[in-house]
């Protein structure tokens, strides 16, 4: 912070250079000196200068360079009954007010907000977010909030604003009628409702909230766990599968030994038992046992064709071919073919070779 003095008895230049990031109001240090008539007042962009004379709020100056004279200090002139010939030094307090935006202030609910949800019934909600603030009326802000504080920071008002936000948040959430599961999709609209609701109260402090955000609305941790279980059950499909799913999860946990596996098996059994019990007199009637599926039909017998004297005979079943083997009509060298074969082959080189197992081969020549 920089301020300029005239080294003599009177102050000739009044200005403020802010080298902080959180100072909202700073009182110009007169150190007992009087302000010279015609002194220069420099108010930079993002600042306002407020004169307080003998405890009364006087003139407020926006950005610009001023010569402190009666023509631009009407309230001070009225308070002091100065005439146009006034040229004497005067003693007043000068407060510089930072009118820029102060960002990234956090708010949150210390205690849960009780709401009535159409699906879950009474629920407790928590919420948190951020906001920014700005001085909109330097005179009101100085009179209502700062008082005679020589250096006022943003942290000194943030608690009061947070309390106002939480109060309106409780009212808006409780009366919104929005289901808990849909609130995440409506945080923007809820934020607008709350910002509009608290605007009149914040204006009484000479402030505005240019930005207000709801970052999250959450249920208590124990309720979220139950909701997660309910979601898992919906994914599993039914109670029996849900219990089996839990059992599989327990078995997959690292460090679980045989006891955990036995517990998982018991849980699966309990799930099956609960599923059967719940289908009793208070639930749906148990479904009749499904009839056993009939055995599949036997595969179709392969049909064989036999080549004899340049002609094709058949088709024959294996029973017919066995009789032909016994009668000698089908020999190992007889060419045969069936569906799925690449071409004609001797019977002994196909699966029909088993039919010749009980038939002796032809006698050797010369015997």
Q: Output the 3-class SS for the chain.
A: CECCCCCCCEEEEECCECCCCCEEEEECCCCCCEEEEEEEEEECCCEEEEEEECCEEEEEECCEEEECCHHHCHHHHHHHCCCCCCCCCECCEEEEEECCCEEEEEEECCCCEEEEECCCEEEEEEEEEEEEEEECCHHHHHHHHHCCCCEEECHHHHHHHHHHHHHHHHHHHHHHCCCHHHHHHHHHHHHHHHHHHHHHHHHCCCEEEEEEEEEEEECCHHHHHHHHHHHHHHHHCCHHHHHHHHHHHHHHCCCCCHHHHHHHHHHHHHHHHHHHHHCCCCCCCCCCCCCCCCCCCCCCCCCEEEEECCEEEEEECHHHHHHHHHHCCCCCCCEEEECCCCCCEEHHHCHHHHHHCCCCCCCCCCC
- Pick 92 or 367 by higher pLDDT: 92
Averaging pLDDT over each range in 79-83, 163-167, 278-282, which range is the top one? Answer: 163-167
The confidence band for 47, taking pLDDT boundaries of 50, 70 and 90, is very high
- Model pLDDT, residue 225: 80
Fold annotation for 102-219:
Tetrahydropterin Synthase; Chain A (3.30.479)
Q: Which residue has the tokens 């196909």?
A: 350
CA 46 to chain centre: 36
The confidence band for 6, taking pLDDT boundaries of 50, 70 and 90, is very low
* Phi-psi category of residue 71: left, alpha or beta, with phi > 0 → left and psi -120 to 50 → alpha: alpha
Whether domain 304-356 has CATH 3.30.1490: the reply is: yes
- Model pLDDT, residue 269: 52
Cβ burial of 55 (10 Å; 0-12, 13-18, 19+) is exposed
Q: What is the mean pLDDT of residues 38-63?
A: 91
Phi, psi of 119 (to 5 degrees): -100, -45
- Pick 300 or 275 by higher pLDDT: 300
- 104 closest CA partner among 213, 248, 251: 213
Contact 317, 308 (CB under 8 A): no
Rg, Å, the chain Cα set: 48
Q: Looking at the predicted structure, is the pLDDT value of residue 256 above 70?
A: no
Q: Looking at the predicted structure, is the pLDDT value of residue 81 above 60?
A: yes
CA 285 to chain centre: 42
Span 101-139, pLDDT tens digits: 999 999 998 888 888 888 778 888 889 999 999 999 999
Return residue ranges of the chain for CATH 3.30.479.30.
102-219
- Model pLDDT, residue 1: 42
Please state, for a pLDDT cut of 90, what percent of the chain lies above it: 27
- Pick 5 or 318 by higher pLDDT: 318
Cβ burial of 207 (10 Å; 0-12, 13-18, 19+) is buried
- Model pLDDT, residue 45: 94
- Pick 314 or 23 by higher pLDDT: 23
Q: Give the integer Cα–Cα distance in Å for 118 and 132.
A: 34
Please give the model's pTM, rounded to 2 decimal places.
0.57
- Pick 362 or 167 by higher pLDDT: 167
Q: Give the integer Cα–Cα distance in Å for 312 and 221.
A: 83
Please, which residues bridge with residue 47 across strands? Answer: 98
Span 279-333, pLDDT tens digits: 444 444 455 555 677 776 666 778 888 888 878 888 888 888 888 888 888 888 8
- Pick 228 or 350 by higher pLDDT: 350
- Model pLDDT, residue 251: 66
Q: Give the integer Cα–Cα distance in Å for 222 and 130.
A: 26
Return residue ranges of the chain for CATH 3.30.1490.
304-356
- Model pLDDT, residue 355: 83
Q: Give the integer Cα–Cα distance in Å for 28 and 42.
A: 12
Q: What is the mean pLDDT of residues 228-232?
A: 71
Please state, for a pLDDT cut of 70, what percent of the chain lies above it: 75
CA angle 321, 325, 329 (to 5 degrees): 90
CA distances from 198 to 89, 186, 203, 210 (A): 44, 19, 9, 12
CA 316 to chain centre: 73
- Model pLDDT, residue 2: 41
Q: Looking at the predicted structure, is the pLDDT value of residue 171 above 80?
A: yes
The confidence band for 277, taking pLDDT boundaries of 50, 70 and 90, is very low
The chain-wide mean pLDDT, for the chain, equals 80
Q: Which of these ranges, 255-264, 301-310, 351-360, has the smallest mean pLDDT?
A: 255-264
- Model pLDDT, residue 282: 46
Q: Looking at the predicted structure, is the pLDDT value of residue 367 above 70?
A: no
Structure tokens at 41: 């007042």
């Amino acid at each position: 912070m920089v301020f300029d003095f005239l080294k003599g008895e009177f102050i000739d230049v009044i200005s403020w250079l802010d080298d902080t990031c959180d100072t909202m109001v700073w009182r110009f240090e007169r150190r007992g000196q009087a302000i010279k008539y015609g002194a220069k007042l420099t108010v930079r962009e993002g600042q306002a200068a407020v004169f307080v004379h003998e405890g009364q709020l006087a003139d407020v100056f926006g950005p610009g360079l001023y010569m402190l004279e009666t023509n631009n200090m009407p309230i001070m002139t009225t308070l002091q009954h100065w005439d146009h010939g006034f040229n004497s030094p005067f003693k007043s307090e000068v407060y510089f007010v930072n009118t820029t935006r102060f960002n990234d202030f956090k708010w949150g609910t210390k205690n849960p907000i009780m709401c009535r949800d159409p699906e879950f019934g009474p629920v407790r909600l928590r919420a948190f977010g951020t906001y920014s603030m700005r001085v909109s009326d330097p005179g009101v802000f100085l009179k209502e909030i700062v008082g005679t504080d020589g250096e006022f920071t943003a942290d000194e008002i943030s608690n009061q604003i947070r309390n106002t936000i939480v109060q309106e948040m409780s009212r808006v959430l409780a009366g919104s009628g929005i289901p808990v599961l849909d609130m995440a999709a409506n945080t923007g609209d809820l934020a607008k409702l709350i910002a509009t609701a608290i605007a009149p109260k914040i204006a009484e402090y000479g402030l505005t909230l240019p930005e207000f955000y709801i970052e999250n609305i959450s249920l208590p941790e124990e309720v979220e766990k139950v909701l997660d279980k309910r979601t898992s059950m919906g994914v599993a499909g039914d109670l029996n599968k849900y219990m089996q799913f839990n059992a599989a999860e327990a078995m997959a946990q690292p460090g679980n030994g045989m006891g955990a596996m036995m517990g998982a098996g018991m849980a699966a059994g309990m799930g099956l038992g609960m599923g059967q019990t719940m289908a009793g007199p208070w639930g749906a009637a148990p479904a009749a046992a499904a009839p056993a599926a009939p055995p599949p039909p036997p595969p179709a017998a392969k049909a064989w064709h036999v080549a004899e004297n340049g002609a094709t005979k058949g088709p024959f079943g294996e029973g017919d071919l066995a009789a032909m083997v016994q009668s000698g009509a089908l020999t190992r060298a007889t060419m045969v073919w069936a569906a799925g074969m690449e071409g004609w082959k001797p019977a002994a080189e196909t699966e029909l070779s088993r039919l010749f197992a009980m038939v002796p081969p032809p006698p050797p020549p010369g015997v």
